[in-house]
Copies of this chain bind each other. A is one copy, B any other.
């Protein structure tokens, strides 16, 4: 099953997480605080951001990333898919029911 790794400004992160869960695109979103160091237009920057780890299903993945792109404030958001090699069966069932 896919875990989607998204970064967002701290002020927007809760809104994105809630939208994904309310619209049944993710069963659960874990939000973590991060400091990001990155290159943008030739300069190195450092900013506080949030990492969102959205727990979804293969079927819902395309709709989830389309929704994140639509509501995300960045032109080039970090949206990455990591596939789990195994998930506890009861947790997999709950995820599937939560995004149906």
In chain A between 55 and 100, which residues have their CB closer than 8 angstroms to a CB of chain B? 55, 61, 65, 69, 75-88, 90-91, 94, 98
Q: By the criterion of a CB under 8 Å from any partner CB, how many residues of chain A are at the interface? A: 52
Residues of A within 8 A of B (CB): 1-3, 5, 7, 14, 17-18, 20-22, 24, 27-39, 44, 46, 49, 51, 53, 55, 61, 65, 69, 75-88, 90-91, 94, 98
19 pairs of residues in contact across A and B, judged by CB atoms under 8 Å: A3-B82, A14-B46, A21-B37, A27-B39, A28-B39, A29-B37, A30-B35, A30-B36, A31-B34, A31-B35, A31-B37, A33-B33, A55-B78, A69-B88, A76-B88, A77-B91, A79-B91, A80-B86, A81-B84
